[in-house]
A and B are shown apart, each in its own frame.
Chain A
Amino acid sequence: MTECRCFGAVAHYKPPSTDSNPTLEDPTPDYMNLLGMIFSMCGLMLKLKWCAWIAVYCSFISFANSRSSEDTKQMMSSFMLSISAVVMSYLQNPQPMSPPW
């Protein structure tokens, strides 16, 4: 078997640029991050418990789908905001959440 390897022709890895192919990127973590922030603000301002809980779920989903290269600060801030929304809504109104039906 002839030697196929060519040690002189080694090319360095270049990560594919996302600007050239935006369709290849998965938009889920960004959308979920944005949704999480919106629901957190709704839960805090309008004192809606269900909004706050959905915000927590959105931040979890965003974290699960995030890329390794993404900044963890963004994730943590979204997560903390949603937790604070839940805590504040229960401090202001300790009543249990009523189902919509």
Chain B
Amino acid sequence: MLPCKKCAFSFSTKELKSNCFYFCVLCVYILCYTECYLGRYNDDFDDGEDLAEFDDNDFAEFEDVNEDPTVEVESEPPPKPAPSSIPVEDDEDEATVEIEDGQDEFEDADAQVSDMYSKYDKDEFEGYEKTNSPFKDTLIYQDVPAHLQNSWESYYMEILMVTGLLAYIMNYIIGKNKNSRLAQAWFNSHRELLESNFALVGDDGTSKEATSTGKLNQENEHIYNLWCSGRVCCEGMLIQLKFLKRQDLLNVLARMMRPTCDQVQIKVTLNDEDMDTFVFAVGSRKAMSRLQKEMQDLSEFCGDKPKSGAKYSLPDSLSILSEMAEVSDGVMDSKMVHYITNHADKIESIHFSDQFSGPKVMQEEGQPLKLPETKKTLLFTFNVPGMGNTSPKDMDSLVPLMNMVIYSIDKVKKLRLNREGKLKADRNRARVEENFLKQTHAQRQEAAQTRREEKKRAEKERIMNEEDPERQRRLEEAAQRREQKKLEKKQMKMKQIKVKAM
């Protein structure tokens, strides 16, 4: 407790008692203020007075007081209330209390507290910075975890997935129905023509006897088959309606990038006597170059590049692959040219071959040891108009093409090569066979060697398994004799070859 310099007091003995009371009040006040304003000092104490001059007397502050009315009022409250703030009750006239300032603080204690901040000298305190909200900036608001939010919006990915699945299912139903309607429309428009030309229309192959079902056989949601048989000049005709995969949404989206069209493939298999030996193909340029690479017979017998059909007045979009010119002249008669010219946009490829074995089969272990089986076949591939956006009405435009197929079957039956052409064709087939045998010679030798070794091993095993030792001995001798004979034969052959060479 330091004496207040601003206040002047003078007391008598009676006054001393009253002053004790006031001193206690003062102490209480000092304790309250030191808790709130610890470390803050009133500038009153910085005036440079020597504090040691004051007595230890508790009332020293009241004895020596330097009046300085010019001292400015301090803006910050002192750690203890100023002596001048003590409420004074003058019981006697002699007591004079001069209070310079601060008395108002004691009259209204609440007002004093609220005015504390306003009276602080900012320079008095170092390192003290007022902040309005010291803790608000450091608060971090964590988001409530999504699964505790109880809202459907957080599951938007799942909703998207389910929506995609529903869209796929809807597209499947719509696509499947469209393909089915297109197939039925095709069959309805072609039924009469087929039933007038074939005894059997529609056979699924399940029943023991060949009975006409009179309807398409559904292989897939986008592929429909129809087997027709019972006609002169041919064994049978398989019609495949290869529609677009409208039931698969991925395929629908892929088709948006690369449009394709529905196709009708017709494969007529002929008997041996129904066709002469020749290979011929006509179709769009792209299809011809593709078929020449893919098909076994076209690559072997029609080695030349596809030729233009201008000679036969065909459109420039079409080209011809032929084994010999005579075949082209024979096939491309006026009616055939008329059919092809009028429906050039719908024709993908027409392929006549007596050596048809399908596409080339690539085997990893080497070439096949046997020539592939061949069949006399007429193949037709037609594009359905509409480029994917086909309607059932478009199927009627394919009827003339079916007429062309029927005409071709009869035409091929009548077409016969002359003697020169026949010889050339036979030479071609012999050449192809010889080439094949040469290429497979090594493999065939190895296969024969393997077979011989297997035979020997089987015989030895049989001899070993024989229980009777006498019989065993006889079998061994017989085997040795056989080996010896074979060796002698080989030596004889070698001698003969040497003699011939000489």
User: Is A11 touching B199 in the complex (CB atoms < 8 A)?
Assistant: no
Bound CA–CA A3/B198 (angstroms): 10
Across the interface, name the chain A residue whose C-beta is closest to B230. Answer: A10
| Other-chain residue from A9, A12, A97 in contact with B232 (beta carbon distance below 8 A) | A9
Please measure, in the bound complex, the distance between the C-alpha atom of A69 and the C-alpha atom of B198, giving whole angstroms: 27
A23 contacts B359, CB within 8 Å? yes
Any B CB within 8 A of the CB of A45: no
Q: Closest Cβ of chain A: how far from B124's Cβ, in Å?
A: 57
A11 interface neighbour in B169, B236, B245, Cβ under 8 Å: B236
A85 to B147, CA, bound (A): 20
Are A56 and B158 in contact, CB atoms less than 8 angstroms apart?
Answer: no
Q: Which residue of B158, B218, B235 is within 8 Å of A68 (Cβ)?
A: B218
A23 cross-chain contacts in B, Cβ below 8 A = 359, 361
A7 to B209, CA, bound (A): 13
Interface stretch among B87-95, B160-168, B275-283, B478-486? Answer: B160-168
- Given A11-B235, A12-B203, are A6 and B248 neighbors across the interface (CB < 8 Å)? no
Please tell me if the beta carbons of B198 and A53 are within 8 angstroms of each other in the complex: no
Cβ distance B316 to chain A, nearest Cβ, rounded Å: 31
Evaluate contact between A96 and B165: CB separation under 8 angstroms.
no
Contacts of A74 in B (CB 8 A): none
Query: With A64-B221, A68-B218 in contact, do A11 and B229 touch (Cβ < 8 Å)?
Result: yes
Residues from chain A with a CB closer than 8 A to the CB of B374 are none
Report the bound CA distance from A4 to B196 in whole Å: 8
Q: Is B227 part of the binding interface, using a Cβ–Cβ cutoff of 8 Å? A: yes
Whether the Cβ atoms of A12 and B210 lie closer than 8 Å is yes
Judged by a CB distance under 8 angstroms, whether B231 is at the interface is: yes
| Chain A residue with the shortest CB-CB distance to B159 | A96
Chain A proximity of B177: nearest CB distance (Å):
13
| C-alpha spacing A13/B227, complex, angstroms | 6
CA distance A69 to B231 in the complex (A): 29
B213-246 contacts to A, CB under 8 A, are: 218-221, 227, 229-233, 235-236, 238, 245
Q: Is A73 an interface residue (CB 8 A)?
A: no
**B199 and A5 contact, CB distance less than 8 A:** yes
Question: Chain A: interface secondary structure?
Answer: loop
Size of the B side of the interface (Cβ < 8 Å), in residues, is 45
Instruction: Please indicate the chain A residues that have their CB under 8 angstroms from the CB of B145 in the complex.
Output: 95
Interface residues of B in 160-202 (CB under 8 A from A): 161, 164-165, 168-169, 172, 196-200
The answer to whether A61 has its CB under 8 Å from any CB of chain B is: yes
A13–B201 alpha-carbon span in the complex (Å): 11
Distance (whole angstroms) from the CB of B218 to the closest CB of chain A: 6
Q: Which of A9, A15, A97, A99 contacts B231 (CB 8 A)?
A: A9
- For A5, A10, A94, the residue with the greatest tally of chain B CB atoms inside 10 Å of its CB is A10
Whether B205 is near chain A, meaning CB under 8 Å from some CB there, is yes
| B232 adjacent to A57 (CB under 8 Å) | no
Q: Which residues of B contact A72 (CB under 8 A)?
A: none
* Bound: A21/B168 CA distance, A: 31
A77 close to B (CB within 8 Å):
no
Residues of chain A in range 58-72 having any CB-CB distance to chain B below 8 Å: 60-61, 64-69
In the complex the two chains form, is A60's CB within 8 Å of B168's CB?
A: yes
Pair A67/B220 contact, Cβ less than 8 Å? yes
**Does A20 have its Cβ within 8 Å of any Cβ on chain B?**
yes
- A98 in the interface (beta carbon within 8 A): yes
Other A-B pairs, 17, CB within 8 Å; known A4-B232, A13-B229, A60-B172: A4-B231, A4-B406, A5-B230, A5-B231, A9-B230, A10-B210, A10-B230, A11-B230, A12-B210, A13-B236, A15-B205, A23-B359, A57-B164, A65-B220, A94-B147, A96-B146, A98-B157
26 contacts between A and B (CB under 8 A): A4-B196, A4-B197, A4-B232, A4-B233, A5-B198, A5-B230, A6-B199, A9-B230, A10-B200, A11-B236, A12-B203, A13-B204, A13-B238, A20-B358, A53-B161, A57-B164, A61-B250, A67-B219, A68-B218, A68-B219, A94-B147, A95-B145, A95-B147, A96-B155, A97-B161, A99-B157
**B-side interface residues toward A, CB under 8 Å?**
145-147, 154-158, 161, 164-165, 168-169, 172, 196-200, 203-205, 209-210, 218-221, 227, 229-233, 235-236, 238, 245, 247-248, 250, 358-359, 361, 406
Q: Which residues of A come within 8 Å of B, CB atoms?
A: 4-7, 9-15, 20-21, 23-24, 53, 56-57, 60-61, 64-69, 94-99
